Amino acid sequence: MRRMSLAGQRRLFGFGLLGIAGFTIYWYLFSTGIPVIWGPSASASEMAAGRELFEHEWTANDPLAHGDGLGPVFNAKSCVACHFQGGVGGGGEVGHNATHFEVLPQPGRNEYITGVLHDFSVNSSEHESMATLKARYPVVKFPPPPPPPPGHCGYIAPPKPDIDPIRTLSVQTNAMFGIGWIDRISTRAILHNYRSRALSANISEMKMNFDTIPAGRVSLLADGRVGRFGWKANFATLEEFVAAACANELGLGTPTCAQADPLTQTSKHDVPPDLNRKQFASLVAFCDTLPRPVEIIPTTSAGEQLAKHGKTLFASTGCATCHVPDIGGVKGVYSDFLLYTLEDPQPNGGAYGPEPPIENARPSWVPRPDEWRTPPLWGVADSAPYLHDGSAPNLQQAILRHRHDGKAAGDRFAKMPATEQAALLAFLGTLKAPADAIPAAQSVNRKKRLAKNG
Ligand code: HEC
Ligand code: HEC
C-alpha cells in the first residue's frame, strides 16, 4: 500500500478541520437541534409519590413536610386546587388567578423586584394586600422645584411627577398536560423557527406587504437561556417552574428554591426546605409525565369534514404562523414559544398603567407588560376561559382579541363567512385534554375558593 506524502496528510488534515468548522457553523445557524424522540417517562412508584404531593392538601406544620409546611403565605392548599380542568394537572378558573407584581427601580433603590401577592397567610399578622405592597414600596415623591428667582423669565423646570414603582398583572392557571414534551423541545428548534420567521417577515416587509405577521421575540432570560414556560415564557425548565410554584403558590420550600417570604416581613422564617430532594424529584416527575393532549376527530363524517376544513383555514388565516403545529419533533403543540403583543398601544399604557421613565425602566430581559407567550393550543377546548387573564370567555372572543402583532390573522377571522368561522372553531374544538388524565375529585377545595372569591 502506498503511504500518503506529508503534504497529502497535511492537506487531508486541513480539509478535515474545514469540514468540522463548516459543520459547526451550519449547526449553529441552521440546525433545528435534536428532535424529541423519546417522551417523558418515570417509574410507577415515583409517579404515584409525585401524584400524592400534587393532590395533597397541605397544612401548616404538615407531617409530610420537612419545614413549616403550608405558608407562611400561600394562594391555595394544593396544586390540584388550581390545576384541575379536564383532570389533575389541567388549567383553572379565573377565581384561581394569581396576582403577580413587579417593583421597578426607583431613585435610591436600583433593584428590580418581582413577586406574587398572596391571598392567604397562616398568621393573620402576615396577611398580604395591595395596601401591604404599597406600604412596602411607596410612591416616590420629589420635592417641588425651588421657586424661580425674582425677575426670572426663562425656562422653569416643571415639577417631577411622582413615580408609583408597582405594577400588577393577573394571570390564570394554565393547563400542564404534555408539559414534559415541551420541556424536551430543543432550544435550537425554537431559535431556528424564530430565525426563519424573522427572515421571511423581513422579505415580506421589503415587498411592502402590510399583512405580515411579525416574528415576535425570543424570551431571553437574565442568564441568557431561552424561556418557554408560563404566560411570559420566563422560565426555561419545568423543574424550575415547579420549584417556583411550590414556593409561591403553596409556600413550600424545595432544595432549589426557598418558600415565599411574607411582604409584611414581621418575623423571620428560617426553616429547612419543606420538600426534600426525593419528594421534589417525584413531584417534578409527576408533572413531567402528565399525559399529552389529544386531537379528537369527530365521529360523524360531516363533523370530520368541518374540523378538517377548519384545520386548513387555521393555516391559511395565519394562525399557524405563531401557533406552530409541530416544533422540535413534538407534534400538535401549536406554539412557537415566542413573545408577542396582541393589544394595540393605548394612551397612558391602558390596563398596565403608564410606562416608567427610561431611568426607571425594567431590565431588558423582562417582557413588557403587554408581551405574552404564544400559548400552546393543544387541549385548548378544555381550558376556558382564555388569554393570560382569562378575560375571553370563549374561543371566538379570544381570536377576535388578536390585534397588533396578531391583527392580520384576527382581521381575516373577523371577515370570514360564518360557516368558515364555525369550521375554524370546530377544529379548535378537537384539541382536547387527554382522555387518560386522572379525574380531579377536589370539588371541596374548589367550592372553598369559589366561596372566597364570590
Ligand atoms: C393558586 C393557584 C395555583 C396553584 C395552587 C398552583 N398553580 Fe401552577 N399555575 C398557576 C398559574 C396562575 C399559572 C400561570 C403562571 C404564569 O404563567 O406565570 C400556573 C402555571 C403552572 C405551570 C406552568 C405551565 C406552563 O404551561 O408553562 C406549572 C408547571 C405549574 N403551574 C405547576 C404547579 C405545581 C407543581 C403546583 C403545586 C406545587 C402548582 N402549579 C400550584 C396557578 C396555580
Ligand atoms: C402574532 C402571533 C399570533 C397569531 C398570528 C395568532 N395568535 Fe393566537 N395567541 C397569540 C398570543 C401571544 C396569545 C396569548 C395572548 C394573551 O394571553 O393575552 C394567543 C392566544 C390565543 C388563544 C387563547 C389560548 C388560551 O389558552 O388562552 C387562542 C384560542 C388563539 N390564540 C387562537 C388563534 C387563532 C385561531 C389564530 C388565527 C386566527 C391565532 N390565534 C393567531 C399569538 C398569535
Centre of ligand 2 to C-alpha 189, Å, is 20
- Predicted pLDDT at 281: 98
Q: Is the CB of 36 under 6 A from ligand 2?
A: no
Which listed ligand is nearest to 175 at the C-alpha?
1
Which listed ligand is nearest to 334 at the C-alpha?
2
Task: Map grid coordinates 474545514 to a residue.
Answer: 18
Which listed ligand is nearest to 74 at the C-alpha?
1
- Predicted pLDDT at 67: 96
Q: Is the CB of 398 under 6 A from ligand 2?
A: yes
What's the number of CA atoms in the CB half-sphere (13 Å) around residue 399? 24
Please tell me the residue having the least CA distance from ligand 2 atom 34: 319
Q: Which atom in ligand 2 lies closest to the alpha carbon of residue 412?
A: 38
- Predicted pLDDT at 259: 96
C-alpha closest to that of 394 among 433, 429, 442: 429
Distance from C-alpha of 58 to C-alpha of 247, rounded to nearest angstrom:
13
Centre of ligand 2 to C-alpha 393, Å, is 14
Please tell me the residue having the least CA distance from ligand 2 atom 2: 322
What's the alpha-carbon Rg for the chain, to the nearest Å? 26
- Predicted pLDDT at 359: 63
Task: Map grid coordinates 417509574 to a residue.
Answer: 43
Centre of ligand 1 to C-alpha 216, Å, is 24
What is the sign of the dihedral through the CA atoms of 223, 225, 227 and 232?
positive
- Predicted pLDDT at 248: 96
Q: What is the pLDDT along the chain (454 residues), one digit of tens a residue?
A: 567 888 888 888 988 999 888 888 777 767 778 888 889 999 999 999 999 999 999 999 999 999 999 999 999 999 999 999 999 999 988 887 889 999 988 877 788 999 999 999 999 999 999 999 999 999 888 888 778 788 877 777 777 778 888 989 999 999 999 999 999 999 999 999 999 999 988 888 788 776 789 999 999 999 999 999 999 999 999 999 999 999 999 999 999 999 999 998 777 788 999 999 999 999 999 999 999 999 999 999 999 999 999 999 999 999 999 999 999 999 999 999 999 999 988 777 777 777 766 666 788 889 988 999 999 999 999 999 999 999 999 999 999 999 999 999 999 999 999 999 999 999 999 999 999 999 987 544 444 444 444 3
Give, for ligand 2, the residue of 194, 374, 395 to mutate: max count of ligand atoms closer than 8 Å to Cβ. 374
